[in-house]
């Protein structure tokens, strides 16, 4: 009786974990499909798909560095004197 209860409990836990993982993977895939919208086109780095992983990595690093440099060049707002 104790073994049956243990197996049934494990099956219930497995079902709950399966449902939660399916829900999580569904939200990740919908997030990834929305990531290619025009609003986020400037946020995600773009790489050439035919390039090697090393070249793609270098392209991403260069793009991130350019965005960081551009954001550092923007003028900081002056704090209001209270």
Residues of the chain with pLDDT under 50: none
Q: Are 56 and 47 in contact (CB under 8 A)?
A: yes
Structure tokens at 32: 């990834």
Q: What is the DSSP string of 16-52?
A: HHHHHHHHHHHHHHHHHHHTTSGGGTTTS----TTS-
The reported pLDDT for the residue numbered 37 is 55
The domain limits of the chain are: 1-34, 44-72
């Amino acid at each position: 009786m104790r073994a049956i209860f243990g197996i049934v409990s494990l099956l219930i836990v497995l079902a709950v974990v399966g449902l939660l993982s399916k829900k999580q993977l569904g939200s990740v895939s919908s997030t990834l499909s929305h990531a290619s919208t025009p609003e986020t086109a400037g946020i995600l780095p773009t790489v050439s798909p035919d390039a090697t992983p090393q070249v793609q990595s270098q392209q991403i690093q260069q793009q991130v560095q350019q965005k960081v440099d551009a954001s550092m060049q923007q003028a900081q707002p002056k704090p209001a004197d209270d």
